[in-house]
Amino acid sequence: MTPPEALLSARALTVKYPYGDVQNVVINELDLDLYPGQIVGLLGESGSGKSSLALALMGLARHPGIVSGEVNFRGKNLLKMDDEELRQIRGNSIGLITQKPRQALDPLVNVGKQISRVYRAHSQASKADAQVRAVELLRSVGINDAERRVNAFPHELSGGMAQRALISMALSVEPDLLIADEPTSGLDVTIQAQFLDRMWERARDANIAVLIVTQDLGIVANYCDRIVIMEDGKIIEDRLTADFFADPHTAYGKKLILASGAGTKSSNAEVAIATTPEILRVTDLRKTFEVEGGKRLQAVSKASFQIHKGRSLGLVGESGSGKTTVGRLILRLADPDSGEVWFKGERIDSISPKEFRKYRSKIQAVFQDPFDSLNPRWPIERVIREPLDLHTEMSKAEKAARVKELVSLVGLTDDILQLRPGSLSAGQQQRVSLARALATEPEFLILDEPTSALPPAARADMIRLLKSLQDRLDLCFIFISHDLSTVRELCHDIAVMYLSEIVEMGTSEQVFSAPSHPYTRALLDSVLFHDPSSRRVDRKIKAELEGEIPSPVDLPAGCYLAARCPMAEQRCRDDHQALIEIGPSRSVRCWKSVEASK
Amino acid sequence: MMRKRKIDPLLLIGLIIIAGSLFLAIFGNSLAPYDPQEPVGDFSMPPSADHWFGTDGSGLDVFSRVLAAPRVDVAIAVTAAIVSAVLGTGVGLYAGYFTGRFSEIVMRVSDILQSFPVFILAMVLVTLTGRNVVNLIFVLAFLYTPIFVRLTRSEVVTQRTRTYVEAARATGNSEFQIATRHVLRNSLAPSLVQLSVTVGFGILLTSGLSFVGAGVRPPTPEWGIMIASGAPNIILNEWWTSIFPGIAISITVFGYAAAGNAIERWARK
């Protein structure tokens, strides 16, 4: 697909920022063409100049930046235009979607008015027409109940809805070019999939050129026709997506493909059900939090599961599903409202915090935020040594030896020992956290999204490390994550959570090969495989969910998924669902799935 | 890309002045050319080669007294600032880490203390406890403690929610260990900045109290007393008795405040 003429073409585009006496070259002599109807994915590490390029293409690189070169849009150089001309072009022909949608919206004006303002600024429509158009636009990007939502203020919208309001604003003037800077970062996977599907459809239908800035190779593989990779302000690879995935030319491209593990959908193939002794048992765990107005938010409800020696449980769900709270309850970082936690036959949820400290050396944790998990004032050596100081009677020399052993166990070198956490990369920081957690040879670990804050390459390294440690140390852990492919790689068993409840449980193999609950199916469907030959948009979507996740403060009486579920019947809305066993170590919270499996 | 590290001139000036004031607090007496408490010549002599800053109404050498005064002013202010910083940081750490009734009470007491005009309260307290150096130190420390409580507490409250605190708990620290080993160290920066500024305030307050006759007693060499003793005679053109200690106060207070500001700016980078 090579359309005759580029819609936008940048030639020798350079952006520099003066920094003290030197000039920081952010974009260096860059050439780029964008064609109508083509979706281009712009990748690169943070600091490679991706976002700067997105802004420069719109003529938004401003003082104190120094811009040279050309950005021709339909043959006219944007960089030579005055503000008024640029404003016309920006509104009429180029739309921008930024990260952090809520910050891009005016908090004092309802979204309908914001959309119609943009629309009216660039067309002659009357106020009433613009309002009608706003409703149409909101509906077209998949917001149900659009008539009511136009009157909503930004704070009343979820992140996903705000992002969609923003895209409808950008689309309201029917632009020829849409620039989206990490439009789905911070969105949940099912919402991300809904959003990208809509954007893809709109771009196809209206022949819009789209530039998506992203870090996620999955988005590129699934939605982009062409991939552009930046490094140090230059384009190092610019090719059709399929070609790139077949044979990346540059080292960075190869690293990306390798990191994504494309094609290696390996898993823990043991279908076998656990026979080793039980380490942890959780029964009927429940936790609510008080929120403003005296209401209670239900974070975890009726959570029951057990973990056996040498096995790992993946706790999967979107934000707000309660998966992190389950981990915190087990770690006694929060106290459950009711329910029991048993560790090797001893009940540990009702003992005093002081008594619980004895178990700390046996139950350890790694948290999501790599930097924030480490005391910023302590050298790494002290961080890793801390659990040894607290729980062992080792001599100084023994501790020093153990620290060194741990450092090499997690793939780091001794020279970081005297550094502070701030001078390590996120990947290294997370390894330090892991070394600290392993110091006392715990019998059980809680890994709370240890990979999700890491850049793609570091994430792949971390997963590889966990996998090798799992084999070598016979680790037993709960892995909390929203990333299904990671869970599949690391975990024997899986529990899928939705709005405070476990909706499906089973071995990895069972759940991945034959997902039963509609939510599990939708979740699996929204995984963006790093493989352009199995794109989500080409698949026939079997279990697409609609709309938004309900608020955990006002939960519906029936099944929590009923409002979004394509299979829902009246019975689903009326009766709350119980977790029903449908096979050995396999259960599901959906009567229709249970009936279908009989 | 490394930015060139330039030393903040404000910090440099501040540190030089602080070092000078501490030096005088220790050695000022021995450097003084005359005994600062004994009349050494005629009354009210203007500055001359023998008496650089002149003599005052009692025939005391003004230069010697200016040099000797830091032993009182700076010593009181520094001691009071350190006592209040230690006390305030400790209480602030406790009140911030263990929120509850104690924390509420501490904050309300701080509110009450801080709502009084410092100077008036200091006068009342010194009058009640008796005018001597030790009492002055305690009064100043008592008055400045709420500042440190507040600063430390607000920092502790934000630090407490950081993941490293959670991680420390999961690692097996007791709450006391988390508070003292982890949170305290990360909550000290604002108090360190405030410490320097507080010494400046303390010098002003000490000399101010002496000026109105509520501080240390004459003939102790002290800048506030000196200004007070010279003040009535300024209209007789005897400017030197008051001007020199006044300049000394200004420079010293400026030095401590400048250092405090420079440290704050550096810490924020």
pLDDT digits (tens, 9 = 90+) for B87-136: 999 999 999 998 888 889 999 999 998 898 889 999 999 989 988 889 99
Task: Provide the 3-class DSSP secondary structure of residue A266.
Answer: coil
Rounded CA separation B152/B148 (Å): 6
Question: How far is B10 from chain A, CA to nearest CA, in Å?
Answer: 21
Residues of A in contact with B170 (CB under 8 A): 331, 333, 360, 364-365
φ/ψ (deg, to 5) at A327: -60, -45
Write out pLDDT tens, residues B157-204: 999 989 999 999 999 999 999 999 999 999 998 998 899 999 999 999
How far is C-alpha A173 from the chain's CA centre?
30
- Helix or strand run (H / E) with residue A139: helix A127-140
B174 with A354: Cβ contact below 8 A:
yes
Rounded CA separation A480/A305 (Å): 14
pLDDT computed for residue A154 by the predictor: 80
Rounded CA separation A498/A545 (Å): 13
Residue B8 falls inside a structural domain: no
Chain A residue with minimal CA distance to B161? Answer: A372
Residue B250 falls inside a structural domain: yes
Longest dimension (CA), chain A: 81
Rounded CA separation B243/B225 (Å): 12
pLDDT computed for residue A53 by the predictor: 87
Provide the residue type at B227 as one letter: I
Match 């009181």 to its residue by tokens. B76
For chain A, list residues whose CB is within 8 angstroms of any CB belonging to chain B.
19-20, 22, 24, 331, 333, 353-354, 357, 360-361, 364-365, 367-369, 372-377, 386-387, 390-391, 433, 436
Class of domain A8-254: alpha beta
Chain A residue with minimal CA distance to B189? Answer: A377
| Residue among A373, A438, A444, A478 with most chain B CBs within 10 A, to mutate | A373
All CATH 3.40.50.300 domain ranges of chain A, comma separated, are 8-254, 278-362+442-508
A436 with B3: Cβ contact below 8 A:
no
Contacts of A570 (CB under 8 A, 6+ apart): none
Residue B3 reports pLDDT greater than 50: no
pLDDT computed for residue A260 by the predictor: 67
pLDDT computed for residue B5 by the predictor: 59
Residue B20 falls inside a structural domain: no
Q: Does domain A278-362+442-508 have CATH number 3.30.465.10?
A: no
pLDDT computed for residue B1 by the predictor: 36
pLDDT computed for residue A268 by the predictor: 47
Tokens at residue A473, please? Answer: 């140390």
Rounded CA separation A212/A41 (Å): 5
Q: Is the peptide bond before A455 cis (omega within 30 degrees of 0)?
A: no
A375 with B166: Cβ contact below 8 A:
no
Whether chain A has a CB inside 8 Å of the CB on B150: the answer is no
Provide the residue type at A396 as one letter: K
pLDDT computed for residue A263 by the predictor: 40
Task: Provide the 3-class DSSP secondary structure of residue A209.
Answer: strand
A390 with B162: Cβ contact below 8 A:
no
Number of domains in chain B: 1
B164 with A24: Cβ contact below 8 A:
no
- Helix or strand run (H / E) with residue B260: helix B240-268
B167 with A357: Cβ contact below 8 A:
no
Whether chain A has a CB inside 8 Å of the CB on B160: the answer is no
Question: How far is B148 from chain A, CA to nearest CA, in Å?
Answer: 21
Residue A373 in contact with residue A422, Cβ under 8 Å?
A: no
Tokens at residue A583, please? Answer: 């096979």
B169 with A375: Cβ contact below 8 A:
no
| Residue among A386, A440, A441 with most chain B CBs within 10 A, to mutate | A386
Q: What is the mean pLDDT of chain B?
A: 89
Residue B45 falls inside a structural domain: no
Residue B22 falls inside a structural domain: no
Residues of B in contact with A390 (CB under 8 A): 171-173
Residue B17 reports pLDDT greater than 50: yes
Tell me the residues of chain B between 186 and 205 that have a Cβ less than 8 Å away from chain A: 186
Residue B124 falls inside a structural domain: yes
Domain, as residue range, for B166: 55-268
For A143-161, what is the HEC assignment?
CCCHHHHCCCCHHHCCHHH
Task: Provide the 3-class DSSP secondary structure of residue B43.
Answer: coil
Rounded CA separation A549/A531 (Å): 28
pLDDT computed for residue B131 by the predictor: 84
- Considering only the beta carbons, identify the residue of B164, B169, B175 that sits closest to A333: B169
Residue in A423, A407, A417, A433 with CA at minimum distance from that of residue A380: A417
Rounded CA separation A429/A444 (Å): 21
A387 with B1: Cβ contact below 8 A:
no
B171 with A360: Cβ contact below 8 A:
yes
What residue ranges of chain A have pLDDT lower than 70? 1-4, 62-63, 142, 144, 186, 260-274, 540-543, 547-548, 598
CATH number at residue B149: 1.10.3720.10
pLDDT computed for residue A293 by the predictor: 76
Residues of A in contact with B164 (CB under 8 A): 372-376
Tell me the residues of chain B between 1 and 20 that have a Cβ less than 8 Å away from chain A: 1, 3-4
Residue in B209, B216, B78 with CA at minimum distance from that of residue B144: B78
How far is C-alpha B151 from the chain's CA centre?
17
Residues of A in contact with B192 (CB under 8 A): none
A373 with B163: Cβ contact below 8 A:
yes
Whether chain A has a CB inside 8 Å of the CB on B265: the answer is no
B163 with A368: Cβ contact below 8 A:
yes
